[in-house]
């Protein structure tokens, strides 16, 4: 049961950021980091927050944003899309 990193689709050395309203418990956090290492990803940084407010990241911070199982659960999808566009 590998955490959902969409791993295997990113080039080796990719740095990933995961965003979640509540950070996972230690076991899940450890599993995610182990999966990142297994797929030779450079780093996995998990951040607590919501898609509607990505203010902890500056404009243009990311090369790409991948959202899986996200927009069905955010409170304000339009605000989330604006933030994705911004970062």
Question: According to the model, what pLDDT value does residue 3 have?
Answer: 54
Question: According to the model, what pLDDT value does residue 25 have?
Answer: 67
Question: According to the model, what pLDDT value does residue 1 have?
Answer: 41
Question: According to the model, what pLDDT value does residue 21 have?
Answer: 84
pLDDT by residue for the chain (87 residues), tens only, comes to 445 566 667 787 788 888 888 876 677 777 777 777 777 777 778 888 899 999 999 999 999 998 888 888 899 999 999 999 999
User: How far, CA to CA in Å, does 34 sit from each of 6, 27, 42, 67?
Assistant: 14, 11, 12, 21
Cα 44 to Cα 36: distance, rounded to the nearest angstrom: 6
Question: According to the model, what pLDDT value does residue 2 have?
Answer: 42
The DSSP output letter for 23 is: P
Phi/psi of residue 46, nearest 5 degrees? -100, 130
């Amino acid at each position: 049961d590998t955490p959902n990193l969409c791993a295997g689709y990113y080039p080796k050395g990719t740095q990933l950021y995961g965003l979640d309203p509540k950070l996972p418990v230690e076991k899940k956090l450890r599993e995610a980091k182990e999966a990142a290492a297994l797929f030779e990803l450079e780093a996995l940084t998990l951040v607590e927050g919501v898609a509607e407010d990505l203010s902890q990241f500056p404009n243009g911070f990311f090369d790409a944003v991948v959202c899986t199982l996200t927009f069905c659960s955010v409170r304000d999808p339009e605000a989330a899309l604006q933030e994705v566009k911004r970062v």
